[in-house]
């Protein structure tokens, strides 16, 4: 495993982030493919043994159960200060006014709830899961700053939004002397590259780390085009709303991934993840796993050095599309 700083911050992360949305009670929330604690245990142990130090979850994943499992398993296999725990706030956790969104009341309430579920007294990276148009960004940024000052949160980050919104949030922090976001968790893969227009250049200019979600495009880049045989592909209702605009160009990209994988004698997932790892200013892709082979592919991708020609072959078939997933 390799390690790097998260953007211009002092936080060191592994070059692969283990996405923990895969862990939780399949009966809670929309993730029917989630693994319970007993099935997740060998994967978390193997990840830590492979050198992965960074784990990403959210309060809304399996309505909190992902945080519970993540915290417990990290406690079993690692020292707290040797790992980076990232979680997120925004999604609906109930019907009350403090159960969703990015108001001060919601952020402070949900941060405490996440700390309890994770079984820790601090969160390394606390991220807003989306933009909240109903709340002034100044209120959100001040509440996040207060969490940092209280020692409950070490760093803050954001996830998918328009670049102007992210810049507005950073500007509000600068004006008031509040904590800035050190990371952006956005959707980025070989078949979703729209962040290259504004968000990635902005992050590079501002020293913001980039932690892409769905670097395998919900598994599409890890199997032949049109293969929907996995349990997740049949039950991932959010994922089924994505990647419907450019099916022909997506097919060509996926075929090129397969061709290079065959030439190299590696898996498709390794090639697709290696491409993401080669892109500036990507810090580390977030990879969710439900099988040991998924984890092995993610770890192996770090050492897969693609040539300039291979990178161009993978990028060439892409056709621009509308951003999705906000």
308-315 and 247-264 helices cross at what angle (nearest 10)?
150
Catalytic residue among 3, 61, 155, 202: 61
Distance CA 319, CA 303 (A): 28
Contact 156, 88 (CB under 8 A): no
61 is annotated as an active-site residue = yes
Burial 93-118 (b: 16+ CB within 10 A, else e): beeeebbbbbbbebbbbbbebbbebb
Contact 160, 127 (CB under 8 A): no
Burial classification of residue 308, based on how many CB atoms lie within 10 Å of its CB (0-12 exposed, 13-18 middle, 19 or more buried): exposed
Contact 144, 180 (CB under 8 A): no
Of 232, 239, 243, 166, the closest CA to residue 205 belongs to 166
Please give the DSSP secondary-structure letter assigned to residue 277.
H
Distance CA 112, CA 147 (A): 10
Per-residue tokens: 224: 């032949």
Distance CA 151, CA 148 (A): 5
Contact 26, 13 (CB under 8 A): no
* Catalytic residue set: 61
């Amino acid at each position: 495993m390799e390690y790097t700083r998260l953007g211009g911050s002092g936080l060191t992360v592994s070059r692969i982030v283990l996405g923990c949305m895969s862990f939780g009670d399949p009966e809670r929330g929309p993730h029917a493919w989630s693994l319970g604690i007993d099935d997740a245990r060998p994967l978390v142990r193997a990840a830590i043994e492979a050198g992965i130090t960074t784990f990403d979850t959210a309060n809304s994943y399996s309505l909190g159960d992902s945080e519970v499992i993540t915290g417990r398993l990290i406690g079993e296999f690692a020292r707290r200060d040797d790992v980076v725990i990232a979680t997120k706030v925004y999604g609906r956790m109930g019907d009350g006014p403090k159960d969703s969104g990015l108001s001060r009341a919601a952020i402070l309430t949900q941060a405490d709830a996440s700390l309890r579920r994770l079984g820790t007294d601090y969160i390394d990276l606390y991220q807003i899961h989306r933009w909240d148009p109903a709340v002034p960004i100044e209120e959100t940024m001040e509440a996040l700053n207060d969490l940092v000052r209280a020692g409950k949160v070490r760093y803050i980050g954001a996830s998918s939004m328009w670049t102007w919104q992210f810049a507005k949030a950073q500007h509000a922090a600068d004006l008031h002397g509040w904590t800035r976001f050190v990371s952006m968790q956005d959707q980025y893969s070989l078949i979703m590259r729209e962040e290259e227009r504004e968000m990635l250049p902005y992050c590079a200019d501002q020293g913001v780390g980039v932690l892409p979600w769905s670097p395998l495009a919900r598994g599409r880049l890890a199997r032949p085009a049109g293969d929907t045989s996995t349990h997740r592909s049949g039950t991932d209702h959010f994922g089924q709303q994505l990647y419907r605009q450019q099916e022909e160009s997506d097919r060509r990209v996926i075929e090129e991934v397969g061709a290079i994988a065959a030439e190299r004698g590696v898996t498709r997932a390794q090639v697709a993840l290696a491409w993401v790892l080669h892109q500036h200013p990507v810090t580390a892709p977030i990879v969710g796993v439900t099988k040991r082979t998924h984890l092995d592919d993610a770890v192996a991708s770090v050492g897969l050095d693609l040539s300039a020609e291979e990178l161009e072959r993978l990028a060439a078939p892409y056709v621009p599309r509308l951003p999705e997933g906000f």
